[in-house]
Structure 1
Amino acid sequence: MFLLWVLVMDRDFGNCYPPEKSRMHEVCGPGAYFFAFALAARLGGQVIWVQEKWRSEQINPSGFARFISPDKLLLVTTKDQKELMAVSEEALRSSAIAFVVMEASQPLTLTTGRRLQLAARDGGTMALAIIPEGVGSNVAETRWHCAPIFDGNFYSADSTLQRWQLIKNKKGTFGVWHVRWDREAHRVAMVSSIGERTGSSNLSA
């Protein structure tokens, strides 16, 4: 079936994205990196990305230059998740940092989640935990599931079409949206296929 994707306006999406600053959020799914870097571009400022050193896949800042300048991304590796959380908490308390991304390999304990939430509040910094699917903290303000959509009819030169689902939100709003990276506007734009929704107004977040 041929689908024509158009830019659309959705107030619910605009109310949910970008997520609230000074809070800890979570993302899972194969599109988690896309979500994290799109959010980093939206927030601006310095980003600290914390990983455990045993991970075989390491971030290459140059590979995400379309989102943020590599010199705005500081990569930190830790020996284990305990150290990862300690480093993340310290970074969150620094008002000089705009965004802290942590790749969690294990569930966050309630105590750890609360400490991170308090650190984000005190530092005025947003925290994002990239978590395995099916794992999440009760403390997280929001949780998103993100995955790429493969549609051969969609912008043949653009491979950024994604499906974002808000699966947890303490403010109560849930939803599913299709988005892409708008290179000219340098931000996320929501799209939909004709026949599923109406409208063709721009909405960038």
Structure 2
Amino acid sequence: MSLPFSSAYPLKRARAHEVCGEGGLVFAAITAGQASGPVVWVSERWRPVVNPEGLAPYCDPGKLLITRADTPLNVLASAETALRSGAVGLVVAEITDPIGLTEGRRLQLAAETGGTTALLLVPEGGGSNAAETRWRCSGLPAPGAHGRDTPPSTGPWQNDHDSTPWLWSIIKNKTGTLSEWVVRWDAAAHRVIVVSEAGS
């Protein structure tokens, strides 16, 4: 049985969620835009820093608090501290190394303690079993694109924010239900539109 999109997204509060795939950054940007209150975005110093203005089509840049950390462990520690504080609506953490079960549980407990939602951008296969949900987000050829080799527009800087379709799949869910949807971003309404359930 397919899971209704509205029961899966927006993400469940006070839980730690994960996203992978080339569309993960857009998923995180949209989630940040839907969050109530400030958003802490943590990444390692060697990685390109997220540009708040580049996320503007999805999220108010003024609500982002950008944090940099020296090591993957410090990314997790910073995320945990922000989650426990309860002072922000969402914590986004860019993770480059696999997350162990212990670290995943610590983040889950911190999210519950602070009543704050966590979203971890993880490499494929690098998530934790403690996560509430894990999403895979993939780009699809835009309407009117010709040929199978047309690359999807995957960044939050593309010009046409209303027509780019995405395949959003839940590949891990503590409730046990896995589902996927073809969605697009409606810039005028500032919300995710479900085009169809995958395969329908």
What are the ranges of 5 or more consecutive residues in structure 1 without an aligned counterpart?
1-9, 198-205
Distance 1:123 1:188 in 2: 27
Q: Could you tell me which of 128, 137, 147 is aligned with 1:137?
A: 128
- CA-based RMSD: 1.8
Q: Contact 2:135–2:168 at 8 Å: present in 1 too?
A: yes
* Partner-residue secondary structure (3-state), 1:93: helix
Q: Contact 1:12–1:173 at 8 Å: present in 2 too?
A: no
Distance 2:101 2:42 in 1: 20
Q: Could you tell me which of 166, 172, 175 is aligned with 2:170?
A: 166
One-letter amino acid of the structure 1 residue matched with residue 18 of structure 2: E
Q: CA deviation at 1:58?
A: 2.0
One-letter amino acid of the structure 2 residue matched with residue 139 of structure 1: A
Distance 1:98 1:181 in 2: 21
Q: Does 1:88 align with 2:79?
A: yes
Aligned equivalent of 1:176: 180
Aligned pairs, number: 184
Distance 1:80 1:159 in 2: 37
Greater RCO (Cα-Cα under 8 Å, separation 6 or more): 1
Q: Could you tell me which of 6, 29, 32 is aligned with 1:14?
A: 6
Q: TM-score, normalised by structure 2?
A: 0.86
Q: Contact 1:27–1:145 at 8 Å: present in 2 too?
A: yes
Aligned equivalent of 2:62: 71
Q: TM-score, normalised by structure 1?
A: 0.84
Aligned equivalent of 1:35: 27
* Partner-residue secondary structure (3-state), 1:67: coil
> Which structure has the greater CA radius of gyration?
1
Q: Which runs of 4+ in 1 moved over 6 A?
A: none
What are the ranges of 5 or more consecutive residues in structure 2 without an aligned counterpart?
146-158
* Partner-residue secondary structure (3-state), 2:130: coil
Could you list the per-position Cα deviations for residues 37-62 of structure 1 after superposition, in whole angstroms to 9, with x for gaps in the alignment?
A: 1111222310000000011x221000
